[in-house]
Amino acid sequence: MQRKNDTLLRHWMMLRMLPRYPLKITSKDLINKLRDNDFFITKRTVERDLNSLSLQFPISLDDSSKPYGWSWQKDAPNFDVPNLSLYESFLLMLADQNLKRILPENIKKIIKPYFINAYKTLEQFTKNNKKRGWSEKIRILESNQRLIPPTINEDIQNEITNCLLHDEIIILRYKNRALQETEFNIMPLALVQRGSMIYLFAKDSKNSKEITIALNRIISIKRTGNFFKNITVNIDKKIEMGEFDFVEKNKPVQIELRISKATAQHLEESKLCVSQVIKSIPNSSFYQLKAEVIITEQLIWWILAHSINIEVIKPVSLRKEILTLLTNTLNLYKNSAT
């Protein structure tokens, strides 16, 4: 059914279709979306509508680079008619507490309006019911040492996000930990956050070699205006295989550990893998654990963190590596003792 003359509904749909800055939508894409909803109008009408709506709502045209596009301003209130329910607000508050220490500032700015709405709803509930607020009743603690997220250039991250969404080939200049600079011509395929770090997973546009790049080490980005097709990646499989855990061996191996009772109890609740087996050792206060895992630096860090409660039995190569690291640590303390 054509709804060409339903101006109010058309304006409403247009506002709902606009993304929040730094994302943007072109007039052409907006016309196509409106046509999918039975609004058959011209580009001139869409542009006139947007200019008119920009006088009443915090929306704006980004004409800094082509293709030009419209978006909600980054600090604009969340636009939606249904109010958040109490439980929706509660879930958003939990998300805020869980993410605020690990998300970069530019990402937090994008989702901040949603959190503001959630806190307002909870505050109103508290006021109406004269009870202590939800925000004073819930806390989330991290299991690892808290680290301050590295600084990521906001403009670079915005460009990467846009190119990732539109499958655009980009040229990056990257500085590694050794301060060596490298240029990559890549097809961006996925963004993955691991702790306080955000990584770009990509493929070289010339030889399809897979590349993982830390966003905070990117010096510059250049958009090429060239787009790729039919290049996909199963990012969940990559994560499962330890792609972002600094893999030492990319295939699961059988490990055998000798663990304390407290560690055994902990691992019964939070398993290393689904198939792990824990058995008591006769005439000992320790337990035997067998599990199939991928050997990663993350696993090694975890073993070292529980060193007095965990002894690696197998594989021998892992046992030797842990022994070397512990020996070096002991020598470090001995040599620096005063």
Q: How far apart are CA 215 and CA 171, in angstroms?
A: 14
How many domains does the chain fold into?
4
Last residue of a domain, one of 240, 262, 277: 240
Same domain, 204 and 177: yes
- Mean pLDDT by groups of 10 residues along the chain of 338 residues: 65 85 87 85 89 89 86 76 70 77 65 79 73 64 73 85 87 90 92 84 89 92 89 80 65 92 93 92 94 88 91 94 94 80
Beta bridge partners of 174: 182, 218
Burial class, 30, CB count within 10 angstroms (exposed 0-12 / middle 13-18 / buried 19+): buried
Query: What's residue 255's pLDDT?
Result: 94
113 & 171 share domain: no
Q: Which residues lie below 8 Å from residue 282, measured CB to CB, with a gap of 6+? A: none
Please report whether residue 17 resides in a domain. Answer: yes
Backbone angles phi, psi at 127, to 5 degrees: -65, -45
Shared domain check, 187 and 112: no
Q: Edge-to-edge, what's the strand order for the sheet holding 197-204?
A: 210-214, 197-204, 181-194, 168-175, 218-227
In a domain, 201, yes or no: yes
Chain-centroid distance of CA 266 in Å reads 27
DSSP string, 32-98: HHHHHTT----HHHHHHHHHHHTTTSSEEEE-SSSSPEEEE-TTPPP--SSPPPHHHHHHHHHHHHH
Say which residues have a Cβ less than 8 Å from residue 84's Cβ, sequence separation at least 6.
92, 117, 118, 121
Residue 54: which domain range? 7-72
Query: Domain for residue 248, yes or no?
Result: no
Q: What is the CATH number of the domain that holds 233?
A: 2.30.30.520
Q: Given this model, what pLDDT does residue 135 score?
A: 64
Residue ending a domain, among 43, 72, 101, is 72
List the CATH number of the domain containing 44.
1.10.10
Judgement on whether residues 263 and 233 belong to the same structural domain of the protein: no
In contact, 159 and 165? CB cutoff 8 Å: no
Amino acid 283 reads N
Is 39:4 a contact under the CB 8 Å cutoff? yes
Same domain, 196 and 273: no
Residues 164 and 233 in one domain: yes
Write out the H or E segment, with its range, that includes residue 216.
none
Per-residue pLDDT, 266: 92
Residue range 160-196, pLDDT digits in tens: 888 888 889 999 999 988 889 999 999 999 888 887 7
84-102 tens-digit pLDDT: 677 777 778 888 877 765 5
Exposed, middle or buried: residue 242 (CB in 10 Å: 0-12, 13-18, 19+)? buried
User: From CA 56, how far away is CA 101, in angstroms rounded?
Assistant: 35
Q: Write out the DSSP string of 267-300.
A: HHHS-SSTT-EEEEPTTSS-EEEEEEE--BHHHH
Per the domain annotation, does 246 fall within a domain?
no
pTM summary value: 0.60
